[in-house]
Structure 1
Amino acid sequence: MKKCLFSVWALIVTGTQLFAQSPTVLTVKADKPTATIQPTMWGIFFEDINLGADGGIYAELVKNRSFEFNAPMMGWKEQKEGEAFGSTLVENRLEKGATNPRYIHVTANSDKGKYGLINEGFRGMGIKQGETYDFSVWTRKTDASSLTLHIELINTKGEVIGKADLTPTDKDWKKQSVSLTATATEPKAKLAVWFVGTGNLDLDMISLFPKNTWKQRPNGLRADLVQLLADMKPGFLRFPGGCIVEGRELSTRYQWKKTVGEVQSREMVINRWNTEFKHRPTPDYFQTFGLGFYEYFLLAEDIGAEPLPILNCGMACQFNSAEVVPMSEIDPFIQDALDLIEFANGSTDTKWGKLRADMGHPKPFNLKLLGVGNEQWGPQYLERLPLFTKAIKEKYPTIKLVNSSGTDPNGERFDYLNKNLRSMNVDIIDEHYYRAPDWFLQNAHRYDNYDRNGPKIFAGEYAAQSVATVSPDNKNNWKCALAEAAFMTGLERNADVVHMASYAPLFAHAEGWQWTPDLIWFDNLRSYGTPNYYVQKLYSVHKGTQVVPLVQKNEAVAGQNDLYASSVLDKNTQELVVKIVNTSDKSQTTNVVIESAKKVGKTGKLWILKSENLESVNSFEDPTLVSPAEQSVTLKGKQISLTLAPNSFSVVRVKLS
C-alpha cells in the first residue's frame, strides 16, 4: 500500500514539474496589423545639462574663451617664469547691445623670462597622440608691439606635448589660426599661451578644437559622442531641453536668435544648472551657444532625425522663479516661434531663411514639429497656449505642435492639463515620468485604453530611478533598464497613440554631472552607452513599420508570468520583429507561434541583452558589460522556440515572404 501511495505521489510531483516547465505559448497575428509606427517613434532628448554641450558634445576645449563668465578670468591663470614682466587687464567695450563685450589687454616683456596665460579646459582637456588641434584667436595689436604667441599643450607633469607659433599682424580685430599636433595622449591637458617679445596686445575668443570633429567641421561636435547617437538611428532630436528652455528666470531663458549667426557674436548666458543643486554645484557652467540652433538642425540632419525644437512660451521655471510675461507682452515670444519656422523652412528671400543660407545651408531643414513650452502647467500655460497655436497654425498649418502635460504622469496637475489639452484637441501631448522601476512595470498597460481619436502622445522624458528622483545616488543599472524595456513594449504596442518617445537626460560628464541617471557617460577622452542606452538602441534599430498583435490567450503580454512583449512588421526588410522581456529571476521557455499566410524563414537573428546581477552597470573600465549579444535561431515551421534568460530582453527578427 505504501509503495502504491509513493508511486502515485511521485507521478503527481513529476506531472507538476512537467507542467511548470511547459513552454509559455505566445501568438503573433502577423497578418493583422493594428497600427502604423511613426518614423519618429524612438528618438533623442538633448539638454545642456551635465556638461552636455560646452565641455561635452561641443568640441571646444577652452573654457571661458571670450572672458564673458561672471568672473571674467575663470578658467584662466597667469603664469610667469624668470623675471618676465606681464599683466592682463579685462576690458569691456560697453557698446549698446554688444553680445560679446569683454576682451583682454595683455602687456608683456619677455626679455628675461616668460609670461603667459594657462587655460584649464573643462575638467582638463582630452588630447590624443598624433591628432591635430586647431588654435584660433581674435587679436588686435598696437603700432609698437612685437609680441608673438607661443602656444603649448601641457600634460599633468608639466611637459609640452604639442606646440605652435602665431604672429599677430593687424591693428584691427582679426581672427588668426594655427594648428599643432599632439605628441602624447593626455586626458587632463592644459593650454598655455605665452607672449614672446615686448608690447601690448588685445585678445578675444581664444579657442582650441580637435581637427577630427564630427564630419571635420570647424566649430564642430565631438565625433565619438555623435557616433553613439547616429548608431541609435533616432527618429527625432528634441532640443535644446528641458528646463534650460525656461530658465530659472526669464532673463536666463533660452533665446534661439542669440544662438545663430557668427559664433563670435552669440551672447553667452549662465546655465541654469550652474546653481540648481546644492549637492552638485557647478559655478563654471555657462552656455556659450557655439552649439546653437543652426548646429542642432545640422546634427538632426546628419543622424537622420526629425528636428524638434522646444521654445519658451513666456514662462520661466515654475519650480524656481515662476516668472511669466504679461499677456499684453506675449507677442514677441509668438513671433520668435514664427521666425524660427522661417529660419528652418523659409526661402532664401526671407529674412531668416537668408540667415540660414548665409550660415551655409540654403536648403530648408523641413521642420515639421515644434514644442511650445517645456514642463509648464496650470492656467497660465493654458492661457498662453491658444495664442501660440492660433498664430502658428494660421501661417504654418502643417506644423504639429507639442504641448506640455507638466512634470508628472498622474495627479491633480496632470489631470487638469490632460483634460484641458484634450478639450482643445491639441496635436501632441508631452508626458514625462521619472519613477521607480516598479512603476514602469506596473504601467506597461498605460496606453492600452487611451482615446484612439484624441491627441497623440510624446513620451518626452522618462528614466527609471534606482533610488529616487533627483537623487545623486541613482545608477544606470540593469534593473532600471530592464524595467524601461518592459514599459516600452506598451509604448510600441500602442503606436497608434504613442507617436514619439525619448529617454532623458542624454549625456553626463563623469566629473561635471548634476543629474543621474543618464543615457551616455563620457570623460575628456572616452564615452560609453549605459544598459539603458542599449535598450533604447534595440528598440530604435528594430523599430518596424506596423504593429501586429502578440498575445497570450488573446491578451496583450504585459506582466503575465513576468513577461512583457510586443511585435512589429518591418515592410522595408519584409521581416517580423518580436521583443520579449523576462523580468523573472528564472529562465523561461517560450514558443512564439506565427500566424501568417506568408512563408516564414527557417532561421532568424536573435539579440539578447541580459545580466544575472540587476545592479550591473557599464563603466569606462567595462563599457559593454551589459550589451547585446547576437546569435542565430532556427525555426520549426512557423514557431520560434526560445529559452529566455533570467532578467533579459530579447529581440528576434525572421523573414516573411
Structure 2
Amino acid sequence: MRINKLFELILCAGLLFPTFTFAQAPIVLEVDASKHVADIQPTMWGIFFEDINFAADGGIYAEMVKNRSFEFDNPLMGWNEPNSDTHSLNEKSGIAKVVKESEGTNPHFARIEVKNSTGYKIINEGFRSMGIKKDAKYNLTFEARNMSGNISKINFQFIDKNGKGVGKASVAVSSKDWKAYSASWAATETVEKAQLEITFEGTGVIDVDMISLFPEDTWKGRPKGMRKDLVQLLADLQPGFLRFPGGCIVEGRTLNQRYQWKKTVGNIEDREMIVNRWNTEFAHRPTPDYFQTFGLGFFEYFQLSEDLGAEALPILSCGMACQFNTGELVPMAELDPYVQDALDLIEFANGATSTKWGKLRADMGHPEPFNLKYIGVGNEQWGPDYFDRLKVFIEAIKGQYPEMIVVSGTGPFPDGEQFDYAEIELRKLNAEIVDEHYYRSPEWFLENADRYDSYDRNSYKIFAGEYAAQSVAIASPDNKNNWQCAMSEAAYLTGLERNADVVYLTSYAPLFAHVEGWQWTPDLIWFNNLTSYGTPNYYVQKLFSNNSGTKLISVESDDKPLTGQNSIYASSVLDEDTKEIIVKVVNSSEESKSVKISLKGAKRPKKEAALIVLNSKDLNGVNSIEDPASISPEEKTVSLKGRNIELELPPYSLSVIKVVQQ
C-alpha cells in the first residue's frame, strides 16, 4: 500500500513522467525578391472625392459664409436678423430682402434697409458655425452699391456664442454702382463656433452680394483656396490618383441635377449653384442647407491633383440619373451633348491655348496642359441602357483621343445578376479599366482576399473605386470606423496588392465627413470647424500607399499565397528606388502569431529592419476629435538573423516590415 501511495504521489507531481511544453513553430513566410510578379502601377493607391458629408462647401473648400450670394432655395437661409422680428417695418431697426434683378447664374442679391444704425444687424451662421483661430488672419470680399441714405461704413466682426466680438474690420462704402470691396482682420480668440456679424453706420438702403470670407492660411496660400489641414491629410497619403467629383453626385437624382463640369469653371461668381443631391437623400440625416456653390470646381480638382502629384480621374454623366432615385434616361438620339461634354473636358485639360476650352484653362491661370490620361463614363450604372450609352462614349473618345483611357463600371455591387451581366458586356466592348465597388461586412473582406487570384489575366484591369467595410449595414447611420473594419480592409488590400498585375487603382470611399454635417458613414477622414483626424481605416490606407513599392514580389507559406490560413494575410513588394523589400502582414486572430520571414533572392540586407505596427485589442476601437491617434501606427525596429526575421504579430494587427538591401 505504501509503495502504491508513493507511486501515485510521484505520478501526480509529474516526477515519473514529466510533461514538456513545446513552443509552437513559427509560420514561415517565404519572400522571393528575385521573383518579380508584376509592376506596381503608380496609380495603385489613390483617393476618391465626393461632395457628401459637407466635404466641399463647409469642408475642404475653405469658404466660411453659407449662402454667400443669396441663391439658396430659401434665399436668406444661413442669415439671421436677431433684432428684426417685429411685424411692422416701422418698428424694426432694419430688414433684409432678397431681390432678383436679372437672369443668369447669380441673379439674386440682398437689399438691406437700415432704419436704425445702432440696432440693426445681420448674422451669417456659417457651415455649422465658423471655426476661427487666435491671431490667424481672415480675408473678406463682397460687392455693394449704396442705393439711398447716408450709410458710410459696413462693420464686420466675428462673434462667439455669447455675442462677444473676437476680431473685426470696417469698410467704407460710397459707390452708387456695384463695386467690389475687401477687408482683412485677425481673430482675437480661438473659437470653434463663431459667426459673422454685420452692422452698418448710417441709415438708408444698400445692396450687397457675394459676401465671402476665407482664412488667409489656405493650402499653398491660394486666395479663396482650400482648407489646409484637410488637404495635408490627403497629401500625406501620397496618392497616385484623385477621382472626382464622385460618386452619385455625378448622376444627380434627376438629369437636371446632374454634375455639369462646364458650370463649375470660369469666374467663381458666375458659377451656377445647385442643390446637393445628398440634401434630402436620407431621412435619418436631413440637410436642407446643403448646396453646391462650385467654388470647388473642375479647375480646382485638376489643380489639386497636380498639387498632390496624382493623376486626375474625372467621372462624367453618361445620360442616366441615379438608378436608386429616378433612373431618368436621356434618349439615345439626344446623347450628343453629353458626349461633347466629355470631349470638351479633354480639351479643357489638355488642349492648346488656341482652343476654346484650352484658352479658358489658361485664362484661369494654368496655360500648361494638365496632362489628363483617364476619363470615367458613368458612376454606378447598370443594365443594357448603360452599355448602349457607354459604347457611344468609347467610340467618340477613342476616335478623337485614342490615347485616352476610358474607365467604365460594373454597377454598385461586387456580385449578383447585374454584375455578371456587366462583365459580359464590358468584355464585348474591350473595356480597359473597370470600376468595382465593395460595401460589405468585415467578414466579406476577410473571406474575399483571394478575389482576383484566379482572375482572367487577359481581361480588363480593375479599379477598386469604392470600398469600405460596413460595421452594421450599407448606409446605416450606425456604421463606425472601428478597428474591425479597418483590419478587414487591410487583409483585403493584401489581396489587391498581390494581384497588382490586374488591379491598377484602388480608393476608399467616402473620403470626408463633418462631425455635425454627415449623411453617410463610415468615412476615411473626419473633421469639425477647427481640427481633423484620420480614422484607423485612413492609417491602413496610408501604410499601403506610403509603402507601395515598384515591383510585386512573391510571399508564400507552404508554397501558397497567404489569404487567411492561420488567420494570416500577406503581400510583398520591392521598391527599386529605396532598395527596400516591404512585407505587409495582417493577423486577424485574437491571438498573437509567431512568424519567420525568410528572404530569398535578396541582396545583402541590413541587420535591422523597420517595423510599423497598427493594431488594437478592441475591435470596436475608434479614433475621434478628442483622441485622434487612439489607433495609429507605431514604429519600431527588428533584428535580422542572416536573411530571416522572427517576430510576434500582435492580435488584430497590420504589420509592415521594411528591409533595406545593401
TM-score, scaled relative to structure 1: 0.97
Alignment of 1:369-384 (within 5 A): 369-384=374-389
Alignment check: 8 A CA contact 2:315 2:379 kept: yes
Determine the C-alpha separation between the residues in 2 that align with 1:52 and 1:302. Answer: 18
Q: What residue in structure 2 maps to residue 99 of structure 1?
A: 105
Alignment check: 8 A CA contact 2:32 2:602 kept: no
Aligned in 2, Cα 1:8/1:29: closer, same or farther, shift over 3 Å? Answer: farther
Determine the C-alpha separation between the residues in 1 that align with 2:107 and 2:164. Answer: 35
Secondary structure of the structure 2 residue equivalent to 1:548:
strand
Alignment of 1:403-422 (within 5 A): 403-422=408-427
Secondary structure of the structure 1 residue equivalent to 2:22:
helix
Q: Equivalent of 2:139, from 134, 143, 161?
A: 134
CA deviations over 1:253-303 (Å, ceiling 9, x no partner): 000000000000000000010000000100000000000001111111111
How far did residue 170 of structure 1 move?
Answer: 2.7
How far did residue 602 of structure 1 move?
Answer: 1.1
Alignment of 1:129-528 (within 5 A): 129-142=134-147, 144-528=149-533
| Aligned amino acid, residue 638 of structure 1 | R
How far did residue 540 of structure 1 move?
Answer: 0.1
Q: What residue in structure 2 maps to residue 605 of structure 1?
A: 610
Alignment check: 8 A CA contact 2:440 2:469 kept: yes
How far did residue 157 of structure 1 move?
Answer: 1.3
Determine the C-alpha separation between the residues in 1 that align with 2:205 and 2:150. Answer: 6
Determine the C-alpha separation between the residues in 2 that align with 1:471 and 1:597. Answer: 47
Determine the C-alpha separation between the residues in 2 that align with 1:552 and 1:275. Answer: 51
Aligned in 2, Cα 1:493/1:9: closer, same or farther, shift over 3 Å? Answer: farther
How far did residue 171 of structure 1 move?
Answer: 2.7
Alignment check: 8 A CA contact 1:109 1:196 kept: no
Unaligned runs of 5+ in 1: none
| Aligned amino acid, residue 125 of structure 1 | M
Determine the C-alpha separation between the residues in 2 that align with 1:269 and 1:308. Answer: 23
Q: What residue in structure 2 maps to residue 65 of structure 1?
A: 68
Determine the C-alpha separation between the residues in 1 that align with 2:178 and 2:16. Answer: 95
Determine the C-alpha separation between the residues in 2 that align with 1:390 and 1:467. Answer: 42
Q: CA RMSD in A?
A: 1.6
Q: What residue in structure 1 maps to residue 114 of structure 2?
A: 108
How far did residue 8 of structure 1 move?
Answer: 11
Determine the C-alpha separation between the residues in 1 that align with 2:238 and 2:217. Answer: 22
Q: Determine what percentage of the aligned residue pairs are the same residue.
A: 59
Which range is displaced more, 591-600 or 68-77? 591-600
Alignment check: 8 A CA contact 1:145 1:201 kept: no
Q: What residue in structure 2 maps to residue 125 of structure 1?
A: 130
How far did residue 423 of structure 1 move?
Answer: 2.2
Determine the C-alpha separation between the residues in 2 that align with 1:56 and 1:9. Answer: 73
Determine the C-alpha separation between the residues in 2 that align with 1:471 and 1:8. Answer: 61
| Aligned amino acid, residue 61 of structure 1 | M
Determine the C-alpha separation between the residues in 1 that align with 2:588 and 2:479. Answer: 20
Alignment check: 8 A CA contact 1:114 1:196 kept: no
Q: What residue in structure 2 maps to residue 74 of structure 1?
A: 77
Which range is displaced more, 80-89 or 462-471? 80-89
> Number of matched residues?
650
Determine the C-alpha separation between the residues in 1 that align with 2:73 and 2:632. Answer: 43
Q: What residue in structure 2 maps to residue 33 of structure 1?
A: 36
- Is 1:567 the counterpart of 2:567 in the alignment? no
Q: What residue in structure 1 maps to residue 96 of structure 2?
A: 88
How far did residue 175 of structure 1 move?
Answer: 1.7
Determine the C-alpha separation between the residues in 1 that align with 2:131 and 2:12. Answer: 75
How far did residue 501 of structure 1 move?
Answer: 0.3
Q: What residue in structure 1 maps to residue 49 of structure 2?
A: 46
How far did residue 146 of structure 1 move?
Answer: 3.0
Secondary structure of the structure 2 residue equivalent to 1:385:
helix
Determine the C-alpha separation between the residues in 2 that align with 1:151 and 1:286. Answer: 25
How far did residue 304 of structure 1 move?
Answer: 1.1
Determine the C-alpha separation between the residues in 1 that align with 2:82 and 2:447. Answer: 60
Which range is displaced more, 587-596 or 191-200? 191-200
Secondary structure of the structure 2 residue equivalent to 1:414:
helix
How far did residue 76 of structure 1 move?
Answer: 0.4
How far did residue 621 of structure 1 move?
Answer: 1.0
Which range is displaced more, 437-446 or 633-642? 633-642
Alignment check: 8 A CA contact 2:148 2:206 kept: no
CA deviations over 1:468-511 (Å, ceiling 9, x no partner): 11110000000000000000000000000000000000000000
Q: What residue in structure 2 maps to residue 648 of structure 1?
A: 653
| Aligned amino acid, residue 168 of structure 2 | K
How far did residue 145 of structure 1 move?
Answer: 4.3
Secondary structure of the structure 1 residue equivalent to 2:36:
coil
CA deviations over 1:493-544 (Å, ceiling 9, x no partner): 0000000000000000000000000000000001000000000000000000
Alignment check: 8 A CA contact 1:577 1:651 kept: yes
Secondary structure of the structure 2 residue equivalent to 1:228:
helix
Determine the C-alpha separation between the residues in 2 that align with 1:544 and 1:174. Answer: 54
Determine the C-alpha separation between the residues in 2 that align with 1:332 and 1:10. Answer: 87
Determine the C-alpha separation between the residues in 2 that align with 1:472 and 1:624. Answer: 23
Alignment check: 8 A CA contact 1:152 1:193 kept: yes
Q: What residue in structure 1 maps to residue 4 of structure 2?
A: none
Q: What residue in structure 2 maps to residue 535 of structure 1?
A: 540
CA deviations over 1:353-411 (Å, ceiling 9, x no partner): 11111111111111111110000000000000011001101111111111010010000
Q: Equivalent of 2:634, from 593, 609, 629?
A: 629
Determine the C-alpha separation between the residues in 2 that align with 1:173 and 1:457. Answer: 53
Secondary structure of the structure 1 residue equivalent to 2:471:
coil
Determine the C-alpha separation between the residues in 2 that align with 1:64 and 1:461. Answer: 31
Q: What residue in structure 1 maps to residue 553 of structure 2?
A: 548
Determine the C-alpha separation between the residues in 1 that align with 2:144 and 2:356. Answer: 31
How far did residue 94 of structure 1 move?
Answer: 3.8
Determine the C-alpha separation between the residues in 1 that align with 2:53 and 2:32. Answer: 44
| Aligned amino acid, residue 167 of structure 2 | G
Determine the C-alpha separation between the residues in 2 that align with 1:169 and 1:260. Answer: 32
Alignment check: 8 A CA contact 1:147 1:200 kept: no
Determine the C-alpha separation between the residues in 1 that align with 2:341 and 2:612. Answer: 45
Alignment check: 8 A CA contact 1:133 1:179 kept: yes
Determine the C-alpha separation between the residues in 2 that align with 1:67 and 1:435. Answer: 41
| Aligned amino acid, residue 100 of structure 1 | N
